[in-house]
């Protein structure tokens, strides 16, 4: 039997959270190793486990994978969540890149000097650039691409929940996206993931931010 998948990251969302979502939807069990201090990070570096000295790192199928998008693509390919052909795949990748772009804007907020100043810009971009695309596509489709669930749907679900946490009611003008969210939340693996006590991480708090800064020896805030 293959070894259980192992995630190396912080005990928080960050870039690993999309990987947690995707593994969950693929119904793949995983263990987590949380970085809580710099020595643990230095050990990973010394052991040569981090190809580019960065986490997320995922041990899967005898490999130590880094680079979030590469990891997501591997899992999506392996579990048939990456479309039926190259034309579906490129569409999934376009949606996925856009969703990662938007989620990263929110992800870095706790590390910014003045996060509140950035909120308006993120909300405007979400409403004017990103959500209209998904709203239009979901007007006549159950899934974003083709006739079955894909990586793009999983990330859209994750992203819409993140947006609603920051901007209550943001989906009011995006009824198709809101219905999509309702459908997604009924998928048994997602329904379980949304329950308290699952491996889904909460919004970042001060402990998470402090730990990340300590592990990477960061003394400055992002602009």
Task: Catalog residues that contact ligand GSN under the rule CB under 6 A.
Answer: 14-15, 53-56, 67-68, 216
What is the closest distance, in whole angstroms, from the C-beta atom of residue 3 to ligand GSN in the complex? 22
Question: Considering the complex, what minimum distance in angstroms separates the CB of residue 54 from ligand GSN?
Answer: 3
Residue nearest ligand GSN by beta-carbon distance = 54
Nearer to ligand GSN, 19 or 144 (CB): 19
Pick between residue 195 and residue 219 the one whose CB is nearest to ligand GSN.
219
CB 141 within 8 A of CB 177: no
Q: Do strands 63-66 and 5-9 pair parallel, antiparallel, or not at all (unpaired)?
A: unpaired
Give 37 or 53: the residue with its C-beta nearer to ligand GSN: 53
- Minimum gap (Å) between residue 151 Cβ and ligand GSN: 15
Min dist. Cβ of residue 70 to ligand GSN (A): 8
Give me 174's structure tokens.
């995006």
Q: Which residue has the tokens 């996925």?
A: 96
Minimum CB separation of residue 125 from ligand GSN in Å reads 20
131 vs 159, beta carbon nearer ligand GSN? 159
Residues in contact with 155: Cβ distance below 8 Å, sequence separation at least 6, in sequence order: 18, 21, 95, 96, 99, 100, 103
Angle at 13 between CA 167 and CA 82, to 5 degrees: 90
Residue 7, strand partner residues:
32, 58
Residue whose CB is less far from ligand GSN, 8 or 190: 8
Q: Which residues pair with 34 in a beta bridge?
A: 9
State both tokens at 215.
Answer: 């592990």
């Amino acid at each position: 039997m293959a070894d259980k998948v192992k995630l190396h990251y912080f005990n928080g969302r960050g870039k690993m959270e999309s990987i947690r979502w995707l593994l969950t939807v693929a119904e793949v069990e995983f263990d987590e190793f949380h970085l809580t201090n710099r020595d643990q990070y230095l050990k990973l570096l010394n052991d040569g486990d981090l190809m580019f000295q960065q986490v997320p790192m995922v041990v899967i199928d005898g490999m130590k994978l880094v680079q979030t998008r590469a990891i997501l693509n591997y899992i999506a390919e392996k579990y048939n969540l990456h479309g039926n052909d190259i034309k579906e795949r490129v569409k999934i990748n376009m949606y996925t890149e856009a969703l990662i772009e938007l989620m990263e804007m929110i992800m870095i907020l706790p590390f910014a000097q003045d996060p509140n100043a950035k909120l308006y810009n993120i909300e405007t971009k979400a409403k004017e650039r990103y959500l209209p695309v998904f709203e239009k596509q979901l007007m006549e489709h159950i899934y974003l691409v083709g006739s079955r669930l894909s990586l793009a749907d999983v990330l859209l679900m994750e992203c819409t929940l993140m947006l609603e946490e920051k901007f209550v009611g943001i989906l009011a003008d995006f009824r198709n996206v809101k219905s999509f969210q309702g459908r997604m939340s009924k998928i048994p693996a997602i329904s379980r993931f949304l329950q308290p006590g699952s491996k889904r991480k909460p919004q970042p708090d001060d402990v998470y931010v402090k730990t990340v800064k300590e592990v990477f020896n960061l003394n400055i805030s992002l602009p």
